Every structure is written in structure tokens, then in C-alpha cells.
Amino acid sequence: MNPEERDQFTEQLLDATLRQYSTAEPAPGLEKRLLASLALAPPKPKPIAHRWPWMLAAAAVLLIAVVSTATLWHRPAPQVANDSTLQATPVVRADQPTPVVSILSAPSKSELALPATRHHATTAVNTAAPHQELFPTPAPPSEQERLLLSYVDRTPVPELLATNARMAAERDADLKRFFANADPANSAGDAQ
């Protein structure tokens, strides 16, 4: 094959090949398959304009949550310094020995753990008196309570524990006696 013939042959071959290059035909039923797949397609998402009421509601809820959290976090300390009922506390303490006074005036663990920046106003108050809204106004102890406090103050701890154990044992014995007397049939059955 001379160069001219080869060139002509190549030209024909290229034309014929490229004509066949994209002659592929789809398998029968392509349209049906396409329409079926379109029918199964998930629905088009709603445009943003249709969703704005929900977005607005969600934003409002979020705003309320944020404001509530912020309000609770920065709640001001209660103003208790001038409460007349608190003035009674030192009177009670004055009547009683030192331990009772130290319990009332010492700040609680949770108050000690709080950052100083949050309750800087409260810290000064705590040393003088408890929170009024958390702890109801302390009334002067009754005569019986005063006797109990003085007993507790005077008695050493081991003796207190021993007394407590003895009282518990007595309570148990009383209960057993009570139930034994209350159900004689049962006790008779037990005896048999």
C-alpha cells in the first residue's frame, strides 16, 4: 500500500469508526425505567421561604433558653442584711455555748466552692447569717431543744455514740415485743 492509498484508507477508517463511536442504543424500556425512578425519588425539599415560620419559632425558643440560663446564672444575692428576724440569731448564740454559734456562722461547702466573682456580695452576708429563702427564719430554740444542745455539747462523742446505739437497740426490742403481742395466733404457730 503506497502512502497515498494508506492515507485514503486511514481517512475512511477514521470516518467509519467515529460514525460508530456513539451509536450505542439503550436497552428497551429506558423511558419506563427513568420515569419509575423519578416516581421513587424523594420529594423536593421545601424552599426556605416555606420553612421560615419554623425557623423563627426555633430561634425564639433558643433565645428564651439563653436568656433564662443567663438570668439564673447571674441571679443577684438576696438582701438579707436588714431582716429583723436575723437579728435574733446572735441572741440565740449568745444564750448558747460556742459550738452552736460556729455551726450557724460557718459558710457551707457549696458556698465555699462558688467562684468569688459570682457571689461576691453574698460572701460577706454568709459570714453573718444563712440565706433566708433557703433556710427558714430560725426561731429561738425551745426549752427541750436547748437542753438537748447543752447535753450534746457537754457529752464526749464516744458516749453519744454509745447512747445512740443503746437507744436503737431498745427501739428494736420494743418493736419486737409489740409485734409479738399483736399477733398471738402467729406466736402460737411459732411455738408449735
Partner 1 sequence: MLVNAVAINPKTATDKVAVASLDALVREHARFVFRLAYSVLRNHHDAEDAAQETFLRVLRHRQEMEEVADQRAWLARVTWRIAVDRVRRTPERDHDDLAPLLEQLRSPQASALQLAADAQMLRLTETMVAALPAELRDVLTLSTLEELNSREIAEILGIPEGTVRTRLQRARQRLKDKLNELMKGGRNESGRA
Residues that bind partner 1 (CB under 8 A): 1, 6-7, 9-14, 16-22, 24-27, 30-39, 41, 43-44
Residue 141 has a CB neighbour count (10 Å cut-off) of 15
Whats the size of the chain, residue-wise?
192
Q: Is 132 helix (H, G, I), strand (E, B) or coil?
A: coil
Cα gap 65→42, rounded to integer Å: 34
Cα gap 98→85, rounded to integer Å: 21
Q: How near is the Cβ of 51 to partner 1 at its closest, in Å?
A: 17
Residue 125 has a CB neighbour count (10 Å cut-off) of 19
- Whole-angstrom CA distances from 21 to 11, 18, 26, 96, 147 are 15, 5, 14, 109, 111
Q: Which is nearer to partner 1, 25 or 143 (CB)?
A: 25
Question: Do the beta carbons of residue 82 and residue 88 sit within 8 Å?
Answer: no
Q: Which is nearer to partner 1, 40 or 182 (CB)?
A: 40
Q: How near is the Cβ of 33 to partner 1 at its closest, in Å?
A: 7
Q: Which is nearer to partner 1, 43 or 115 (CB)?
A: 43
Q: How near is the Cβ of 52 to partner 1 at its closest, in Å?
A: 19
Q: Which is nearer to partner 1, 20 or 82 (CB)?
A: 20
Q: How near is the Cβ of 35 to partner 1 at its closest, in Å?
A: 5
Q: Is 173 helix (H, G, I), strand (E, B) or coil?
A: helix
Q: Which is nearer to partner 1, 17 or 192 (CB)?
A: 17
Q: How near is the Cβ of 59 to partner 1 at its closest, in Å?
A: 27
